[in-house]
A = this chain, B = another copy of it.
Amino acid sequence: MEKTVRFSISLELDLSKQFDQWMKKNGYQNRSEAIRDLIRDKLVEEEWKDDQKEVVAVLSLVYDHESRELPEVLTAVQHEHYHLIISSTHIHLDKHNCLEAIIMKGKAGQIKKAANKLLSLRRVKHGRLVMSTTGKDIA
């Protein structure tokens, strides 16, 4: 069985109320799990501060595949960084629009650089980089 550490925290009433509302809105059913997630978030954030740390990321892009040059440039930039990309899932949303979900693993610094190249391309309609973790150092 897992060992558990139990401790108390004190919160101002207002902050506590706001936290409870946030928990409810986000589907949490007890405070411990919500606090655990806040701590894990900080730890993952910390991993990304070290450019040499191995991390995992999901980059999502929405674009029109008929945009002049965009598909070719997207493919070229991805192949340039192919050692960072595990897989890339492409959804044909309709006749024009595509979603691409690119899963990456590698050094934080390199992933941020490659992602910025893709995100700042002309004619990408929406893009986001989720900075996640290999899970190795997060309990």
On A, residues with C-beta under 8 Å from B are: 25-29, 33-34, 37, 40-41, 44, 56, 58, 60, 62-65, 71-72, 75, 78-79, 82, 85-99, 101, 103, 105, 113, 116-117, 119-120, 122, 124-128, 130, 132-136, 138-139
Q: Contact check, A93 vs B134: say whether CB atoms are below 8 A apart.
A: yes
Residues of B within 8 A of A119 (CB): 26-27
Give bound CA distance, A82 to B91, whole Å.
Answer: 9
Q: How many copies does the complex hold?
A: 4
List 14 additional A-B contacts (Cβ < 8 Å) besides A62-B132, A87-B103. Answer: A33-B122, A37-B127, A58-B60, A58-B99, A58-B101, A60-B130, A62-B133, A65-B79, A72-B72, A82-B95, A86-B91, A90-B90, A93-B135, A125-B135
